């Protein structure tokens, strides 16, 4: 015999799987509609692009040079390690 609690948990898992699938379907449909509405309106496209660009990190020139120098040093160290017997 199956324990009633185990049976309840099994039913719960099945229900979760069913409803999770429905939620995913609803989310996909909603994103499709959102993308279609954005695609139709050019001003929204432009504004969205500006927001994405403004969220990107902007580094100072000194920081970029420092980063490049560091990567060069690390590649040299890696090559030295690989060349050791």
pLDDT tens per residue across span 20-36: 666 677 777 888 888 78
For the entire predicted model, the pTM comes to 0.34
- Taking only the tens place, the pLDDT of each residue in 39-69 is 788 888 888 888 888 888 888 889 989 999 9
Q: How far apart are CA 4 and CA 64, in angstroms?
A: 63
Pick from 64, 60, 59, 41: nearest CA to 49: 41
């Amino acid at each position: 015999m199956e324990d009633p609690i185990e049976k309840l948990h099994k039913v719960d898992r099945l229900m979760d799987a069913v409803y999770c699938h429905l939620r995913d379907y609803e989310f996909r449909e909603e994103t499709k509609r959102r993308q279609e509405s954005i695609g139709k309106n050019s001003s929204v496209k432009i504004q969205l692009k500006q927001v994405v660009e403004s969220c990107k990190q902007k580094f100072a020139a000194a920081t970029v040079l420092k980063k490049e120098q560091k990567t060069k040093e690390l590649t040299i160290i890696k090559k030295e390690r690989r060349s050791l017997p």
